[in-house]
Amino acid sequence: MSSAVVSTELYRRACALFPTGVAVVTTRALDGTPHGLTVNAFCSLSLSPPLVLIAIDRICSLLETFEKSGHFAINFLSKSQRDLSIRFSELPEGRFSGVSWQPGAEGAPLLDASIGAIECRTTQIIDAGDHRALIGEVVAANVGEGEPLIFFRSSYQALGS
């Protein structure tokens, strides 16, 4: 099925005009191994009850792990964590090597240096084109200090830069 009137390239460039934060979404496999990937497809979906949505590419090797674990944490990166964003989007394995973290309420890794985090229990998984949307009920949150890492026009920025 292809009824697209907008090319993928134009659609990508248009979406890139909307600045987002950058987060590392984490979970623990059933054997306790920590996993995570960089995302910017995050939104706060509902306040009452508190629900969030993340979108994971169907070709992402971690999708099944996230689906099976039933929980995830969204770690919001600070402007000094560009390297961490690259590590969690590009390194094929060993992403947590040398990274300090603590287990959250459901066990998902909370990265020490992030500016804050939201922890969730997965309540719905929805097929959406080449991605899957994971909706999570928020079970805990923490708010720290610092300025966010921003992604705009497909490159990293800081507020006011």
Ligand X SMILES: Cc1cc2nc3c(=O)[nH]c(=O)nc-3n(C[C@H](O)[C@H](O)[C@H](O)COP(=O)(O)O)c2cc1C
Residues 81 and 117: beta-carbon distance below 8 Å: no
Q: Is 92 exposed, middle or buried (0-12, 13-18, 19+ CB in 10 A)?
A: exposed
Q: Which of 16, 57, 133, 141 binds ligand X (CB under 6 A)?
A: 57
Report in angstroms how near the CB of residue 12 gets to ligand X at its nearest.
Answer: 12
Given the DSSP bridges, would you call strands 101-103 and 155-158 parallel, antiparallel or unpaired? unpaired
Helix/strand/coil for 148? strand
Q: Does 150 bind ligand X (CB under 6 A)?
A: no
Report in angstroms how near the CB of residue 46 gets to ligand X at its nearest.
Answer: 19
d(CA 144, CA 74): 13
Q: Which is nearer to ligand X, 35 or 71 (CB)?
A: 35
Report in angstroms how near the CB of residue 48 gets to ligand X at its nearest.
Answer: 25
Task: Name the one range near ligand X by CB under 6 A: 58-66, 101-109, 118-126, 138-146.
Answer: 58-66
Binding site for ligand X (CB under 6 A): 22, 37-41, 55-57, 60-62, 85, 88-89, 92, 151
